[in-house]
A and B are shown apart, each in its own frame.
Chain A
């Protein structure tokens, strides 16, 4: 009898893990955040940003980005610009704090000056592109309520509604999350009139060191008609970054990881 119970328990445990309870919207979003922004202990990528205005004018930004996960969900970012030449050698440092204002600095090599940047609105354009600061470092998932709208065999479709509607320009946004990789593959933003005005699509995904990684993404401003293509190259994870790199010393003297 005892043996039988034990066996049943094992069977039950096995079943419950393989035929898992359906995930809640919050759990899905948490897994998606993990996959999109926290892969590995640290990472690096060379980024090429192609900004195309409505009139077809092209702008190129090239930079190397280093990321390190620190305490809890906090992270540090180091962005080192390589092109165009008027921003070359500028470096942007972020200490991201979850639930608190981030600390941000900009290193201006021509002035040999470390400028502190006002925390401000994270939903403003990153270096003139159609991506926002928040798209680069990740939006705090606690800022939105998440509703699982639809589940297909390929996608979870999540509706995200801001808890503080006055703090953002959207009324809600939808995210399509890949069920296998948990990567967000598409996001559509609706404005206060309910109009679709902004879209981000992950165009290409590669498995790098076991981590599914978006290597090409496009952000479109559907009202202005501009778009930005982000291409990620030389992506590497767990490169053994030291936390001291994310400091004034290494803004003055860029570490070899970015040069």
Chain B
């Protein structure tokens, strides 16, 4: 396998990395809103959030992508490939991340908040200084996990016309007849990307407040 083919795979992996990174960040922002709605205790907020999460966790990502790409134009919203890919991945990961966050916040012991209020914390202070740091610490490993899952799931966006790493590998394997070398290289690139994500996640986790070094 020539260096040129490997370069093409690396170039395609920029799509994999870019689309995944943007989707994880957008997904996280949506997840904060969703988990807030779920924990609000008001049906008006929690019911729509619950429906959103059920849909995006319950329908395969592949089907979601095809729906966004092919069905939205029927109601007059014609999104380009790259937008369909990012919207699909973002909404899907938002549903999972929201559940992670909700779980994290729900696991902060009530007693801690009560003690904080006893020593004179306002509810806002207790939320910022006690609840958020603990919840973040509890959910962070799951968020890194989700980032790795999305990086791998991003191979599905080829169905809406994005030539990312997996699709490029398929195209090259088809035209060069070197499937073994090309898929092995693609696998290696995924592995390296995910090792970097895992390592970065580990470093960030150690720098979070309240983690013993």
* A and B interact physically: no
